[in-house]
């Protein structure tokens, strides 16, 4: 029964969010933390951070982690499949027809609306994560340094992640 609940929960997350995996975090937190209490806010924030530095899309990683915590391997499979089934089918249909319809005014208008919506959802996710991730001056400095290194100095994010892992292993915060 819990596997079906995981599947349906992540199916809804995959169905009702627009944009990247980051925009999905808002709805994921609502279900996983607030509605079902499968994770605490701190656990959710930790899993988002772990999902960010492990290979693969953040939401697939998060679904896999949550599913594993709640119901082991079966839970991981059900949560991950629930998350990806609707986007997979949708993108498959769009890919088959995109070149035929991409220049239609209604499609262009739809994209003009969806892009800023995605940015809005991503911003909400960032603000929610900010509350539990930036807890003092040290963590604020880490965030600022990452922004500067990535944006200003254009360091490849892979090297930033590796640096963060090394920092986290050897420096106590």
Over residues 150-155, the mean pLDDT reads 94
Query: Which tokens go with 173?
Result: 């915060």
Residue owning tokens 């254009």: 154
- Reported as a pLDDT band with limits 50, 70 and 90, residue 71 is very high
Tell me, yes or no, whether 99 and 154 share the same domain: no
Which pLDDT value is given to residue 108?
87
Mean pLDDT of the chain: 90
Say how many domains are in the chain: 2
Geometric angle at alpha carbon 106, from 59 and 102, rounded to 5°: 65
Tell me, yes or no, whether 67 and 112 share the same domain: yes
> Looking at the predicted structure, is the pLDDT value of residue 145 above 80?
yes
- Reported as a pLDDT band with limits 50, 70 and 90, residue 126 is confident
Tell me, yes or no, whether 76 and 110 share the same domain: yes
In order of 64, 83, 85, 96, 119, the CA distances from 89 in angstroms are 20, 12, 6, 11, 23
Q: Are 76 and 64 in contact (CB under 8 A)?
A: yes
Name the phi and psi angles at 14, rounded to 5. -70, -30
Domain that holds residue 61: 2-133
Tell me, yes or no, whether 64 and 121 share the same domain: yes
Query: Which tokens go with 79?
Result: 């949560």
pLDDT digits (tens, 9 = 90+) for 5-61: 999 999 999 988 776 777 788 899 999 999 999 999 999 999 988 988 888 888 999
Tell me, yes or no, whether 18 and 101 share the same domain: yes
Residue owning tokens 């209604």: 106
Best-predicted range by mean pLDDT among 67-71, 94-98, 113-117, 159-163? Answer: 67-71
Query: Which tokens go with 7?
Result: 């599947």
In whole angstroms, what is the distance from residue 101 CA to residue 172 CA? Answer: 54
Tell me, yes or no, whether 32 and 69 share the same domain: yes
In whole angstroms, what is the distance from residue 25 CA to residue 125 CA? Answer: 6
Over residues 84-108, the mean pLDDT reads 89
Least confident range of 2-11, 63-72, 157-166: 157-166
In whole angstroms, what is the distance from residue 46 CA to residue 58 CA? Answer: 12
Which pLDDT value is given to residue 19?
66
pLDDT digits (tens, 9 = 90+) for 127-137: 888 888 899 99
**113 DSSP 8-state letter:** H
Tell me, yes or no, whether 127 and 149 share the same domain: no
């Amino acid at each position: 029964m819990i596997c079906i609940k995981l599947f349906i929960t992540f199916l809804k997350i995959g169905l009702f969010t627009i944009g990247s995996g980051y925009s999905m975090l808002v709805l994921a937190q609502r279900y996983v933390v607030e509605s079902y209490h499968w994770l605490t806010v701190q656990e959710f924030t930790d899993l988002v951070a772990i999902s960010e530095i492990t290979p693969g899309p953040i939401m697939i990683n998060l679904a896999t982690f949550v599913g594993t915590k709640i119901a082991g391997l079966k839970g991981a499979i059900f949560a991950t499949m629930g998350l990806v089934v609707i986007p997979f089918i949708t993108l498959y249909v769009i890919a088959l027809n995109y070149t035929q319809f991409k220049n239609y005014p209604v499609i262009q208008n739809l994209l003009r609306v969806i892009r800023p919506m995605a940015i809005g959802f991503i911003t909400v996710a960032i603000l929610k994560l900010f509350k539990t991730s930036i807890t003092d001056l040290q963590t604020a400095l880490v965030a600022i340094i990452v922004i500067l290194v990535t944006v200003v100095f254009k360091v490849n994010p892979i090297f930033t992640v590796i640096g963060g892992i090394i920092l986290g292993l050897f420096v106590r915060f």
